[in-house]
Structure 1
């Protein structure tokens, strides 16, 4: 049995107990990543004949200011692909990881990649998109969760190669993941620590709840996975997004469960999409997103936390920030309201 098939079987066994307790509610609905407002199904129980994903179906696509429009595919086991690429030695690495039923062309991570290599960006980044769409496709969410172990192993392997080659260092690596990708980033960080390294920052954008509420802590994002872990919760209503704090700093815009402008949103799909939208807006926002440290949203709304620490949410969050923060946002873009 291959190591990946062993991992697949292990994860299936870990989450099987959860699947038996769903009481016939074995489907949740995620927002369609194509942005058309429809939903895609996510089956929480095993599909007959499900197989572990193939690592060869995971692709790492590099963009820099030198190749804004056309990616260079790089491979951990092919140093020539890295040497021949536009990788900028010494520049920070942003590894962006899409969620369930998505791919690298959808608004997250694509729009963030475009911003990070744009002329308006004063910093220089190596932006790598991990396209693991074949392993995380709808409707088989159960298998996608198992395949996350394979994807995280491949990502950790590539990053270690880049560090070993002297192309970058762990203190310049930032992992950003949305939804299911928001849990994969934690798995990557955990694996890297077992390689005697630690990434500088992990950002989890409304990390997925289904099957992760019963998972072993190593399989979900935690403050132990990076020097700094920041988490934005926007659909933590018990269906799609994880409610409990997972980072050094956890942000709960508008209370973290529902979002203004989403109207009737029983599945939380609209609210789920708001986390990456806010983070992407934060990169160049003039108003900026500011929140107050507070114990809960009611206290925040009542003004009981007005004298507490004020910090900025998103791309510019300072690495020393700690605690639980609340803020309000607009119902439409621009979402930021300023301090």
Structure 2
């Protein structure tokens, strides 16, 4: 009952606040002043984006790396200072290398990390690094958001160390980032001159990010190919196109099966659940249609347009533009 009363009390605040009124772009969150989030199951808080104390100090010691492979499924902790320890693991530059980057309030144990890591290694024999930037991610949102570029550069320096020590080729490197982690992936890719093979942005964070300021967020120049999956645009996610191909399941703002989902946490997390399923499935059935809007898609105005599949370990690099699809309200989500 207390939870229900709290949500009821905050509901008018969320719907009427600056976070959702007067935005110059559909999903431009640069002018947001607060947002509601679920700090733990059933506990809701308002994050103040105006009066927060800001701490944007970033150092290499704030970022950890947990390496996994098929021969090392339990993982090993790696830092820039002990990178040579990789020689005693299953790390091999003859395989592809993926970096998974969590979002705000996350760490190594974030649900994203477990879902994507386990899915990838069950299907592909590659190197997987889980990037743990928890010491910074667990600051207030403004501090974490303003540290995105700094964290991205630290991650890029780790990749450069792998290049130097092991002759890692950027053409074999990919990033998969969720929420703020998507923007960190973009910042790392930019610091690597946009030469990583591909980046997958899973519902990149929306609050305080601008359509115009691409230097602080994920954009198509950050990798050779950038795919973005939008599931909670306009609330926790950034809904404007941010990649070479942008996918909008169910319109990209709310998701079936999530109920009222006032804070958007259910819809936000669907991005990595869809991506995970696209990897695990024997056949990727997240078939999407290129279209200019959800309205045109639902009216059938785009039925003859190009098709593409969302996600997958081998992303569809032929795709370009905005793609729409409908999913089921529970797993399996893909309809084909």
- Length-normalised TM-score, structure 2: 0.85
Distance in structure 2 (CA, Å) of the matches to 1:77 and 1:56: 9
Which residue is equivalent to 2:163? 163
Which residue is equivalent to 1:74? 78
Which residue is equivalent to 2:232? 235
Which residue is equivalent to 2:273? 277
Distance in structure 2 (CA, Å) of the matches to 1:259 and 1:185: 25
1:252 aligned to 245, 248, 273, which one? 248
Q: 1:208·1:241 contact (CA, 8 Å) conserved in 2?
A: yes
Report Cα offsets for 1:10-68 as digits up to 9, x if no partner.
xxxxxxxx99965xxx4313455x7x465565432353373524431210110000111
Distance in structure 2 (CA, Å) of the matches to 1:302 and 1:21: 33
Distance 1:307 1:266, change over 3 A: same
Distance 1:154 1:264, change over 3 A: same
Report Cα offsets for 1:168-205 as digits up to 9, x if no partner.
21111110000111111111111111xxx610100000
Distance in structure 2 (CA, Å) of the matches to 1:325 and 1:40: 34
Which residue is equivalent to 2:19? none
Distance 1:291 1:98, change over 3 A: same
Would you say 1:107 and 2:111 are equivalent positions?
yes
- Length-normalised TM-score, structure 1: 0.84
Distance in structure 1 (CA, Å) of the matches to 2:138 and 2:197: 29
Q: Cα distance, 1:106 vs. partner?
A: 2.1
Would you say 1:309 and 2:314 are equivalent positions?
no
1:292 aligned to 289, 292, 296, which one? 289
Distance in structure 1 (CA, Å) of the matches to 2:50 and 2:89: 41
Which residue is equivalent to 2:66? 61
Secondary structure at the aligned position of 1:227 is classed as: coil
Distance in structure 1 (CA, Å) of the matches to 2:128 and 2:143: 27
Q: 1:254·1:327 contact (CA, 8 Å) conserved in 2?
A: yes
Which residue is equivalent to 2:13? none
Distance in structure 2 (CA, Å) of the matches to 1:281 and 1:301: 24
Q: 1:46·1:142 contact (CA, 8 Å) conserved in 2?
A: no
Secondary structure at the aligned position of 2:224 is classed as: strand
Distance 1:21 1:304, change over 3 A: closer
Secondary structure at the aligned position of 1:130 is classed as: strand
Secondary structure at the aligned position of 1:321 is classed as: coil
Q: Structure 2: 5+ residue runs without aligned partners? A: 1-27
Q: Cα distance, 1:148 vs. partner?
A: 1.8
Which residue is equivalent to 2:332? 334
Distance in structure 1 (CA, Å) of the matches to 2:169 and 2:284: 33
Q: Structure 1: 5+ residue runs without aligned partners? A: 1-17
Q: 1:74·1:85 contact (CA, 8 Å) conserved in 2?
A: no
Secondary structure at the aligned position of 2:70 is classed as: coil
Distance 1:41 1:279, change over 3 A: farther
Q: 1:311·1:317 contact (CA, 8 Å) conserved in 2?
A: no
Secondary structure at the aligned position of 1:68 is classed as: strand
1:93 aligned to 80, 92, 97, which one? 97
Q: 2:60·2:80 contact (CA, 8 Å) conserved in 1?
A: no
Which residue is equivalent to 1:175? 175
Q: 1:287·1:337 contact (CA, 8 Å) conserved in 2?
A: no
Distance in structure 2 (CA, Å) of the matches to 1:38 and 1:306: 43
Which residue is equivalent to 1:144? 144
- Alignment size in residue pairs: 307
Distance 1:80 1:40, change over 3 A: farther
RMSD after superposition: 2.3
Distance in structure 1 (CA, Å) of the matches to 2:327 and 2:45: 27
Q: 1:102·1:137 contact (CA, 8 Å) conserved in 2?
A: yes
Q: How do 1:258-269 and structure 2 match up within 5 A? A: 258-269=254-265
Distance in structure 1 (CA, Å) of the matches to 2:298 and 2:84: 55
Q: Cα distance, 1:262 vs. partner?
A: 1.1
Would you say 1:223 and 2:238 are equivalent positions?
no
Q: Which moved more, 1:315-324 or 1:271-280?
A: 315-324
Q: Cα distance, 1:301 vs. partner?
A: 1.0
Q: 1:40·1:101 contact (CA, 8 Å) conserved in 2?
A: no
